[in-house]
């Protein structure tokens, strides 16, 4: 079994890179804080006997040799970037657990059959640059590398420029580091495992995701002297869209969610009717048919709202990720490892997106979930218990040994 | 009659201070652009034989002597600040018309009985600092001067600091410059005069105004993994409030309006449920009873929404201005002047707020409206015809002669 104290202190140690006074982490992808944690990660992997390479999207690969170097390595890991007001565990746990697995194997003098490769994927969060899971999208060729490099943040900085700014546009060709499979440990980010008192979730499916960018163009005019029936109010229009997304998600069963995360009024003034608003939106559901239905219903609803309010609404689908179905051999290895360790588990659907969703399109992949407090994530209050982190890492260790061959 | 060409070229000349490429003006109160237009105004008034003084709130007074200097002067004017995306006429027309009246009297060698005083009131717009009509509020002691000086903009800069920064915190005590009455020419900022083909509106009433500052505190969490029923979504909450304000205004007759002009999500991210939003809101109606009813209904509705959504909503009333009723002698003088000039007119209610609302609480006051294109204001496309501006200024001239004594 792994060294639980070392795992925990490693998580706490790296939380200082971008650490906030509320106990959270603000480590936007390709920021200075991201550079710091990447430098730390490279040094820690090298100290654990790994060779670290970086590809053209900043994805980091730390290779631990195996007995049979003709076999492609088994990938383990997650991501080290966070939300603007993120927690200490989302992504970080998966990378630190992978490092802890390698350290434990080193301590025990175990060489696996296939090599292992700890992965730190660039921009999993999708907050600074859309879409999410960007580095792994490039790796599996879900998006062209050139397209990814040209994506810009709110300040107009491109991914390519940001990679250069922190010195993490690596020489390795994207996708060149072959993997035989991928295993990722992550906090659940939802309330199910905690509510059921279970330490382990075996992730069998991942939700499909659709992301929108929207722009409403109404007409700026005086709040005092413009009669209600002559207004083209962009904020009232947005309000209807926000509530429509909420209502549509609720109407499509317990497994659909829908949200608007960002909305910015251009040139706001308290006595000017908002004339222009940019916003983001999304739906998620494990069922591709329901994702289609939600998308269609929203597009229709938006057309109706725009026509009735005589405003212009653009709603662009900027990303669509089909629902993910993980590999039964890999989920079986995870369930067997949990059984061997006497840890109760259940199958679970991932509400959040993960790099494993992309890896699953290329190689046998699966994920392990551990509970987090109140199911809260993407919040500085995000919290997970040391025991649960250790349990998940032990399951990872045993699944790795089963898959890579002890 | 006044010199229409000179009036028009003066309006166009000053529109360069803060002029935008869409033909509008961005001249926020106490900004560098405001300093430029104030310097211009001071020089132009001095060239027209006036003595210019500035009070402790930056209100500017250009005194033109009369035959009887024991009489307090008749005030004429408006404001030179604009919205972030304002037009060339809102406020500006009233100040330039007052200057044109003085220039015309100079050309004709007419000395009025009572002196005249051209006024440029500080921060009529209320966009950078709330509330609106701030300089005139201080002048009539509707708000204490110290309170006004301490108000801050979105960057935390106080009115006092901003006055000092542009050198317009004057030595004169606020309110010391006595006036015997006040007349203000303004574009209607609404669609009525244009629709009815009338060049002149005699403003008899002004709407009551209530301004709110609100803050919604929900809970940031993951858009993908947080089930719909466990969310505390600040943006969905705001959306209900925006639509409630709109619906309440519509339900209270053709003469009530309600809007949300500003809304800012704290720390937005597209896959984080908005946890905190600051917003502004307002209602306006000429009827004080309806203003009470709207306020009460909104407060009740907000409580209901907050309880149902389990979020915290603060709604603070930051300003309440009772409906204004202008002086019948002054409105009579305006109507008589229009009749004398053969200009058709109608009584009208002001949808927008004006410094005259404050002056009316102290001295006999009234306003003249002229049409503007499509009723549009608080927009860079705001537009008024040279003929209409000239007609309004002629009415101002003749009303001034009647009230101040030719
Ligand atoms: N795991 C995780 O929080 N991913 C961020 C991308 C998303 O699901 O929106
Ligand atoms: N006249 C005018 O636009 N005033 C601005 C203050 C307000 O009415 O909100």
Chain B residue closest to A382 (CA)? B221
Ligand nearest the Cα of residue B206 is 2
Which positions in chain B touch A308 (Cβ < 8 Å)? none
Q: Say how many Å lie between the CA of residue A274 and the centre of ligand 2.
A: 15
Shortest distance between the Cα of A70 and any Cα of chain B, in A, equals 39
CB distance B267–A235 less than 8 Å?
Answer: no
pLDDT attached to residue A292: 98
Instruction: Indicate the pTM of the whole model.
Output: 0.95
DSSP A295-342: HHHHHHHHHHHHHHHT-EEEEEEEEEE--EE--HHHHHHHHHHHHHTT
DSSP B154-220: TTS-BHHHHHHHTT---SBPTT-S--SEEEEEEE--SSHHHHHT-SEEEEEEE-EEEEEEEEEE-B-
Closest partner CB to B263 (pick from A235, A240, A267): A235
pLDDT attached to residue A221: 95
CB distance A125–B271 less than 8 Å?
Answer: yes
CB distance B352–A224 less than 8 Å?
Answer: yes
Do the beta carbons of residue B313 and residue B302 sit within 8 Å? yes
Nearest atom, ligand 2, residue A223 CA:
9
Which residues of chain B register pLDDT less than 70? none
CA distance B249 to B251: 5
Assess A158–B contact: CB distance below 8 Å, yes or no. Answer: no
With vertex at residue B54, the alpha carbon angle to CA B88 and CA B101, rounded to the nearest 5 degrees, is 50
Chain B residue closest to A280 (CA)? B270
DSSP A236-258: HHHHHHHHHHHHHHHHT-TT-EE
pLDDT attached to residue B241: 99
CA distance B206 to B227: 48
Nearest atom, ligand 2, residue B378 CA:
3
Do the beta carbons of residue B83 and residue B125 sit within 8 Å? yes
pLDDT attached to residue A340: 98
Count the Cβ atoms, other than its own, within 10 Å of residue A113: 14
Residue A406 pLDDT more than 80? no
Which positions in chain B touch A282 (Cβ < 8 Å)? 223-224, 270-271
Residue B2, both tokens: 């006044």
Residue A392 pLDDT more than 90? yes
Q: Which of A295, A327, A347, A261 is nearest to B226 (CA)?
A: A261
> Residue B153 half-sphere exposure, CB side, CA atoms within 13 Å?
19
With vertex at residue B166, the alpha carbon angle to CA B144 and CA B76, rounded to the nearest 5 degrees, is 60
Ligand nearest the Cα of residue A354 is 1
pLDDT attached to residue B406: 75
* DSSP three-state, residue A21: coil
pLDDT of A19-65, one tens digit each? 999 999 999 999 999 999 999 999 999 999 999 999 999 999 999 99
SS3 content of chain A, % helix, strand, coil (to 5): 35, 25, 40
Which positions in chain A touch B316 (Cβ < 8 Å)? none
Count the Cβ atoms, other than its own, within 10 Å of residue B300: 11
Do the beta carbons of residue A87 and residue A25 sit within 8 Å? yes
Q: Positive or negative CA dihedral for B144, B147, B151, B157?
A: positive
DSSP B221-284: EETTTS-GGG-B-HHHHHHHHHHHHHHHHHHT-TT-EEE---EEESS--TTEE--EEEEEEEEE
Write the CA distances from A57 to A74, A122, A134, A169, integer angstroms: 20, 7, 9, 6
With vertex at residue B232, the alpha carbon angle to CA B226 and CA B234, rounded to the nearest 5 degrees, is 120
Strand partners, B349: B205
- Region A345-370: mean pLDDT is 98
**Ligand 2 within 6 A of B125 CB?**
yes
Do the beta carbons of residue A160 and residue A83 sit within 8 Å? no
Residue B99, both tokens: 């200057």
pLDDT of A240-272, one tens digit each? 999 999 999 999 988 899 999 999 999 999 999
CB distance A226–B375 less than 8 Å?
Answer: yes
CB distance B260–A220 less than 8 Å?
Answer: no
CB distance A350–B84 less than 8 Å?
Answer: no
Ligand 1 binding pocket mutation candidate from A125, A259, A286, A348 (most atoms within 8 A of CB) = A125
Assess A271–B contact: CB distance below 8 Å, yes or no. Answer: yes
Residue A208, both tokens: 């499909």
Q: Positive or negative CA dihedral for A177, A180, A181, A184?
A: negative
Closest partner CB to A224 (pick from B267, B280, B284): B284
Closest partner CB to A239 (pick from B220, B242, B271): B242
pLDDT of B101-148, one tens digit each? 999 999 999 999 999 999 999 999 999 999 999 999 999 999 999 999
CB distance B188–A225 less than 8 Å?
Answer: yes
pLDDT attached to residue B185: 98
Nearest atom, ligand 2, residue B352 CA:
8
pLDDT of A270-315, one tens digit each? 999 999 999 999 999 999 999 999 999 999 999 999 999 999 999 9
Assess B20–A contact: CB distance below 8 Å, yes or no. Answer: no
Ligand nearest the Cα of residue B272 is 1
Residue A318 pLDDT more than 90? yes
pLDDT attached to residue A146: 98
% residues pLDDT > 70 (chain A): 100
Which positions in chain A touch B254 (Cβ < 8 Å)? 227
**Residue owning the nearest CA to atom 5 of ligand 2:** B125
Residue A90, both tokens: 């989302």
CA distance A364 to A182: 7
Which positions in chain A touch B228 (Cβ < 8 Å)? 246, 249-250, 256-258
Best of B261, B275, B319, B370 to disrupt the A interface (most A CBs within 10 Å) is B261
Q: Which of A220, A258, A279, A255 is nearest to A350 (CA)?
A: A255
Assess B21–A contact: CB distance below 8 Å, yes or no. Answer: no
CA distance A290 to A336: 32
Do the beta carbons of residue B7 and residue B393 sit within 8 Å? yes
With vertex at residue A395, the alpha carbon angle to CA A392 and CA A399, rounded to the nearest 5 degrees, is 140
Q: Which distant-in-sequence residues (6+ apart) come within 8 Å of B328 by Cβ? A: none
Q: Say how many Å lie between the CA of residue A356 and the centre of ligand 1.
A: 11
Residue A140 pLDDT more than 90? yes
CA distance A127 to A111: 38
Q: Which of B208, B351, B83 is nearest to A227 (CA)?
A: B351
Shortest distance between the Cα of B271 and any Cα of chain A, in A, equals 6
Q: Which residues of A369-392 are buried (b: 16+ CB within 10 A; e: fewer)?
A: bbbbbbbbbbbbbbbbeeebbbbb
Which positions in chain A touch B234 (Cβ < 8 Å)? none
Average pLDDT along chain A: 97
Residue B155, both tokens: 């960057």
Q: Phi-psi region for residue A393, left (φ > 0), alpha (ψ -120 to 50) or beta?
A: alpha
Mutual orientation of helices A234-251 and A288-309 as an angle, nearest 10°? 150
**Residue owning the nearest CA to atom 3 of ligand 2:** B352
CB distance B257–A376 less than 8 Å?
Answer: no
Count the Cβ atoms, other than its own, within 10 Å of residue B194: 20
Closest partner CB to A261 (pick from B127, B262, B269): B269
């Amino acid at each position: 079994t792994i060294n639980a104290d070392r795992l925990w202190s490693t998580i706490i140690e790296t939380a200082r890179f971008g650490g906030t006074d509320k106990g959270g982490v603000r480590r936007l992808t390709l920021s200075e804080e991201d550079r710091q944690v990447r430098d730390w990660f490279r040094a820690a992997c090298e100290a654990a006997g790994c060779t670290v390479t970086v590809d053209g999207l900043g994805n980091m690969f730390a290779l631990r040799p195996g007995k049979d170097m003709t076999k492609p390595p088994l990938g383990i890991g997650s991501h080290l970037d966070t939300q603007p007001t993120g927690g200490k565990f989302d992504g970080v746990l998966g990378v630190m657990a992978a490092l802890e697995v390698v350290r434990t194997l080193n301590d025990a003098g175990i060489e696996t059959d296939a090599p292992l490769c700890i992965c730190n994927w660039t921009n999993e969060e999708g907050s600074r640059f859309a879409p999410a899971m960007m580095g792994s999208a490039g790796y599996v060729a879900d998006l062209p590398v050139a397209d990814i490099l040209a994506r810009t943040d709110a300040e107009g900085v491109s991914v390519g420029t940001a990679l250069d700014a922190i010195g993490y546009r690596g020489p390795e060709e994207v996708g060149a580091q072959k993997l035989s499979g991928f295993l990722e440990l992550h906090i659940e980010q939802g309330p199910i495992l905690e509510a059921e008192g279970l330490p382990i979730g075996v992730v069998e499916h991942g939700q499909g995701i659709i992301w929108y960018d929207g722009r409403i163009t109404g007409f700026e005019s005086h709040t005092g002297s413009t009669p209600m029936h002559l207004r083209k109010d962009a904020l009232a229009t947005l309000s209807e869209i926000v509530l429509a997304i909420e209502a549509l998600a609720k109407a499509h069963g317990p497994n659909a969610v829908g949200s608007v995360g960002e909305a910015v009024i251009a040139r706001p003034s308290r006595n000017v009717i908002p004339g222009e608003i940019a916003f983001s939106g999304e739906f998620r559901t494990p069922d591709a048919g329901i994702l289609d239905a939600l998308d269609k219903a929203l597009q229709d609803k938006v057309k109706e709202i725009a026509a009735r309010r005589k405003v212009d609404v653009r709603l662009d689908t900027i990303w669509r990720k089909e629902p993910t179905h993980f590999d039964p051999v890999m989920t079986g290895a995870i369930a067997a490892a949990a059984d061997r360790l006497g840890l109760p588990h259940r199958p679970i659907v991932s509400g959040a997106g993960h790099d494993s969703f992309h890896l699953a399109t290329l190689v046998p992949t699966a994920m392990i979930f551990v509970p987090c407090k109140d199911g809260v994530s993407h919040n500085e209050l995000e919290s997970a218990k040391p025991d649960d982190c250790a349990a998940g890492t032990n399951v990872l260790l045993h699944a790795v040994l089963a898959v890579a061959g002890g």
